[in-house]
Every structure is written in structure tokens, then in C-alpha cells.
Amino acid sequence: MPCPTHRRRTGRTGRPRSTEANRAILDATRAALVELGWGKLTMSDVAARAKVAKTTLYRRWAGKSELVVDAVADLFDEHLELPDRGSLHADVEGVVLQFAALLERPETKTALMAVVAESTRDEALRDRIRSAIVERQKRLVLLGRERAQARGELPYDSDPSVAASQADLIFDLIAGTVVHRALVSAEPVDAEWAATFSTLVVSGVQATLGATTAANGATTANASPPAPAATDPPRDPAAAPPG
């Protein structure tokens, strides 16, 4: 056949799933989200746009929600990173503006809340959102914390479990507040708001540090090589869902 495309090597026998179709489906899903929104998006429509059979969709994804999660997860990986701007405040500000820009896209705007709403009744879907979006983007918080610690803006962690819960708090704080302003209050996340909010975040986080780790000599942590963790987990776009 005139299509000697590179297929991923797998131990499984039989005809492998077309990676081209996978990409075409996710692209079609995003396009359909832009045009139709979550409510009017149908599996048949996505199949027609991607020029695949409707049954192929159901062989790879359990339903609309799972498909859309994968479609928007790509956008998160592509458009969110942590620019190193020299201070915790500036780093927070940068990621807030990036996240706001992502939330202004019609695809993410209409899809994110919908899949989260579905996930409240579907534990498997919630796990998929966690692994595909939440946990992947929480690396920004962990990286930002490490940089702030290296600069001396935050104390090094005495207890790793405390570090994890603080990272969770910061993540909920930034993501939740920006989402709420952008989608519920429906007011713009502009540079001025981002600056004010970042000031709030930095001051608030430092305040909670003083409260929870009061016993530690927090100021000017003794420099210890923080063992720069690799920050780039290889993307796995060919992670075929169970069919």
C-alpha cells in the first residue's frame, strides 16, 4: 500500500490502529468544539469530520467525554509552560496569563467545565482528567516552587508531604481562581488583574508557610544542590485508549 508510515513497535499482533486517524479525530474534535460547542457536539459529526467510521470512535474512546478530554489535553501540553522570569511573582504572573489565554479559546472554554461536570458521576473519567491534564500541569507548580526555593523566596521543604499539599493548594488556587474569573464571572484576565492576583498568591503562600512550618528556620535556606529534576516527560500521543 502507498502508505509505509512509521508505526510504533508493539508486541501485539494484528493490524495496528492508525495513528493518523487518531490525530485526525482529535483535530476534528477540537474543530467541532469550536463550531458547535460541547452540547451540540456529536460523535457522528466528529467521525464525519475526521473521515473515519463512527464505530472507530467507539473502538478507541468510551464516549464523548473521554474523547474531549484527550482533545483538550493536547492543548494544555502545547500552550502551558513556566517561563523563568527571575522571581516567583513574575513566574506566577506569566503562567496566569498563559492559562487565561488558553481558557479564552472556544475549545477549552466549552469543554473543560463540561468534562469536569461529567466526572463528578464517573470515576474513570475523573481519573482520566487527572492523568491527562491535572497531574501533567501540576509540574508547573512544582517547578516554580523549586525555582523559588533556589532563589531563596521560599524555604526548602522539611517534609515532602507538606510540600505536596502546598503544591496542591497553589494549584487549586491559581487554576481555580483563573477559571472562575474567566468562565463564571466572565471578566477579562488582563495584565493588571494578573499582577494583582500574583501579588496575592505570593504573599498568601508565604503566609501559609509561616503558619505551617513555623518551627523551621525558614529564612535564607542553606543552599543545597536541589538536584534538578528532569522536567520533560516524553509525550505519548500514541497512547491508544482501550478499545
Partner DNA sequence: CTCTTTCGCTACGAGTCGTAGCGTAACTGT
Partner DNA sequence: ACAGTTACGCTACGACTCGTAGCGAAAGAG
- Restricted to residues 8-67, the positions that interact with DNA (CB under 7 A) are 9-18, 21, 42-45, 51-56, 58-60, 63-64
Residue 44 Cβ vs its own copies, minimum distance, rounded to whole Å:
18
Cβ nearer to DNA, comparing 67 with 201: 67
Q: Collect all residues with Cβ–Cβ distance below 8 Å to 203 and sequence separation of at least 6.
A: none
Closer Cβ to its own copies, 80 or 90, answer by number = 90
Q: How far is the CB of 43 from DNA (least distance, A)?
A: 4
Q: Of its own copies, DNA, none, which one sits near residue 173, judging by CB under 5 to 8 A according to partner kind?
A: its own copies
Q: Which is nearer to DNA, 10 or 212 (CB)?
A: 10
Nearest-approach distance from CB 26 to its own copies, in angstroms = 20
Q: Which does 16 bind (CB under 5 to 8 A by kind): its own copies, DNA, none?
A: DNA
Nearer to DNA, 21 or 90 (CB): 21
Cell 470512535 maps to which residue?
A: 57
Instruction: Give φ, ψ of 2 to 5 degrees.
Output: -75, 35
Q: Long-range contacts for 25-30 (Cβ within 8 Å, ≥24 apart)?
A: 25/50, 25/52, 25/56, 25/57, 25/60, 25/67, 26/67, 26/70, 26/71, 26/74, 29/67, 29/68, 29/71, 30/71, 30/72, 30/75, 30/107
**Residue 139 carries which side chain, given as an amino acid letter?**
R
DSSP string, 69-96: HHHHHHHHHHH------SSHHHHHHHHH
Backbone angles phi, psi at 222, to 5 degrees: -65, 130
CB of 53 to its own copies, least distance (A): 25
**Least distance (Å) between residue 22 CB and its own copies:** 25
d(CA 157, CA 213) in angstroms, rounded, equals 9
Select from its own copies, DNA, none the partner in contact with residue 231, using the beta carbon and a kind-dependent cut-off of 5 to 8 Å: its own copies
Number of residues binding to DNA, judged by CB under 7 A: 31
Partner whose footprint covers residue 145, from its own copies, DNA, none (CB < 5 to 8 Å by kind): none
Q: What minimum distance in Å lies between the beta carbon of 211 and DNA?
A: 47
224 binds DNA (CB under 7 A): no
CA distance 42 to 33: 10
